[in-house]
Amino acid sequence: MFEAAALAVLTAAAVTLSRALTGPSIYDRILAVNVMGTKTVALLALIGFVYERPHFLDIAIVYALINFIATIAFLRYRERGDLRI
């Protein structure tokens, strides 16, 4: 069951990747990468259940945080031209 769900999420991530590759604008690419990050979090949680190793959930938490901060940091850089706080 978890394997099938993980494969479906992986397929969705692959479809999103094609949008990240084709663009056309930089925002389309960031959007696609952000969505792929969301799917990666779901995938990590599912993998934790597939292999019965709950520690994957900690990785999922960290990945969710990094994904969010990376998106925000990149957009901030686009808007202001630097990353000072």
Residue 37 tokens read as 């990050």
Q: Within 13 Å, how many C-alpha atoms sit on residue 85's CB side?
A: 0
Q: How far is the CB of 46 from other proteins (least distance, A)?
A: 7
Q: How far is the CB of 8 from other proteins (least distance, A)?
A: 4
- Do 58 and 47 touch, CB atoms closer than 8 A? no
Q: CB neighbours of 80 closer than 8 A, spacing ≥ 6?
A: none
Which residues bind to other proteins, rule: CB under 8 A? 1-2, 5, 8-9, 11-13, 15-16, 18-19, 25, 27-28, 30-32, 34-35, 38-39, 41-42, 45-46, 49, 52, 54, 57-58, 60-61, 64-65, 68, 71-72, 75, 78-79
- Do 35 and 16 touch, CB atoms closer than 8 A? yes
Closer to other proteins at the Cβ: 45 or 84? 45
Q: How far is the CB of 84 from other proteins (least distance, A)?
A: 17
